[in-house]
Every structure is written in C-alpha cells, then in structure tokens.
Amino acid sequence: MAKKKAYPLRINENVLAAMERWAADDLRSVNAQIEYVLRQALVKQGRVKLVEKVIVEVEDIEPPDGEEN
C-alpha cells in the first residue's frame, strides 16, 4: 500500500456530519470514508493513471485480513 501523508482539512460542519453518518453506515472511519470519496471522484474524472485506478478498485473489493472470498 502507498505511504500515506497527513493533511489538515477544514470542512463545513454539515458536510462532516454527513460524512460521519456515511462512514458509520459503511463501517469505515471518517478519514477512510473521505479518502474513498476522493479516490472515486478522481477515478470518475480521469485524474488518476490506469495503474492507480486498478489499485483503487482492488482496495475496494479486498476482504479484511484473515478472511477468504
């Protein structure tokens, strides 16, 4: 997995509340949910290379550690 970099984010409180609810629904942390939404938007807009696009898709379907398909 690629190295992650910390980045401070200022966000509207209503947007954050919506992200918190969405993250809870998807059993993700808010940080992971924000990253997921950003990656999906980048793929949709063609802003990532094909290799990165495949990595995003694999990360989305990869089962949790210790579980098999």
* Global pTM value: 0.65
- Tens of pLDDT, residue by residue over 2-61, are 688 899 999 999 999 999 999 999 999 999 999 999 988 888 888 877 555 566 665 666
40 with 29: CB under 8 angstroms? no
User: Which of 30, 24, 28, 31 lies closest to 60, judged by CA?
Assistant: 28
Stretch (H or E) spanning 22: helix 13-25
67 band by pLDDT with thresholds 50, 70 and 90: low
pLDDT at residue number 16: 98
